[in-house]
Amino acid sequence: MNYREAMAYVEELGQYGSVMGLVSMRELCKRLGNPQEELKFVHIAGTNGKGSILAYVSTILQKAGYRVGRYLSPTVRDYRERFQVNGRMITQAGLCKYLELVREAAEAMAAEELPHPTAFEIETAVAFLYFLDQQCEIVVLETGLGGATDATNIIETTLVAAFASISRDHMGILGDTLEQIAAVKAGIIKNKCYVISVRQSPEVMKVLRQAALLHKAKFFTADVERARKIRYGITKQYFSYDHYKDLAITMLGQFQIDNAVAAVEIVTALGKLGYPVKEEQLRLGFLETKWTGRFDVIGRRPLFIADGAHNEDASRRLAESIRFYFTNRRILYIMGMLKDKEYEKVIQNTFELAEHIITVTPPVCERALHAYELAQTVSMYHNSVTVADSVQEAVEIAYLLAGQDKETIIIAFGSLSYLGELIHIVEHRDTIRRDSHGRSEQN
Q: What are the pLDDT digits (tens) for 176-186?
A: 789 999 999 99
User: What percent of the chain stands above pLDDT 70?
Assistant: 95
Which residue spans of the chain are classified as CATH 3.40.1190.10?
A: 3-288
> How far is Cα 303 from Cα 402, in angstroms, rounded to an integer?
10
Q: What are the pLDDT digits (tens) for 200-214?
A: 999 999 999 999 999
pLDDT of residue 433: 67
> How far is Cα 413 from Cα 335, in angstroms, rounded to an integer?
5
> How far is Cα 135 from Cα 362, in angstroms, rounded to an integer?
37
Q: What are the pLDDT digits (tens) for 269-287?
A: 999 999 999 999 999 999 9
Contacts 24+ apart (CB under 8 A), 221-229: 221/196, 221/197, 221/265, 222/196, 222/197, 222/198, 222/258, 222/261, 222/262, 222/264, 222/265, 222/266, 223/199, 223/261, 224/198, 224/199, 224/257, 224/258, 224/261, 225/199, 226/261, 227/257, 227/261
CA distance readout (Å), 170 to 258, 341, 384: 23, 8, 30
Which residue spans of the chain are classified as CATH 3.90.190.20?
A: 296-442
pLDDT of residue 150: 94
The pLDDT of residue 352 is above 90: yes
pLDDT of residue 255: 87
Reported as a pLDDT band with limits 50, 70 and 90, residue 173 is low
pLDDT of residue 281: 98
> Do 180 and 37 touch, CB atoms closer than 8 A?
no
Full-model pTM: 0.89
Q: What are the pLDDT digits (tens) for 36-59?
A: 999 999 999 998 889 999 999 999
Q: What are the pLDDT digits (tens) for 408-437?
A: 999 999 998 899 999 999 988 877 666 655
CA distance readout (Å), 284 to 67, 75, 222, 288: 16, 24, 20, 6
**Domain 296-442 belongs to what topology?**
Protein-Tyrosine Phosphatase; Chain A (3.90.190)
pLDDT of residue 366: 77
> Do 162 and 43 touch, CB atoms closer than 8 A?
yes
Helix (H, G, I), strand (E, B) or coil at 70: strand
pLDDT of residue 325: 92
413 phi, psi to nearest 5 deg: -150, 175
Please determine, looking at this structure, whether the domain spanning 3-288 carries the CATH number 3.90.1570.10.
no
Q: Residue 115: is the preceding peptide bond cis (ω within 30°)?
A: no
User: What percent of the chain stands above pLDDT 90?
Assistant: 78
> How far is Cα 425 from Cα 427, in angstroms, rounded to an integer?
6
Rounded to an integer, the average pLDDT of 338-354 is: 94
The pLDDT of residue 8 is above 90: yes
> Do 321 and 229 touch, CB atoms closer than 8 A?
no
Q: What are the pLDDT digits (tens) for 364-382?
A: 777 899 999 999 999 999 9
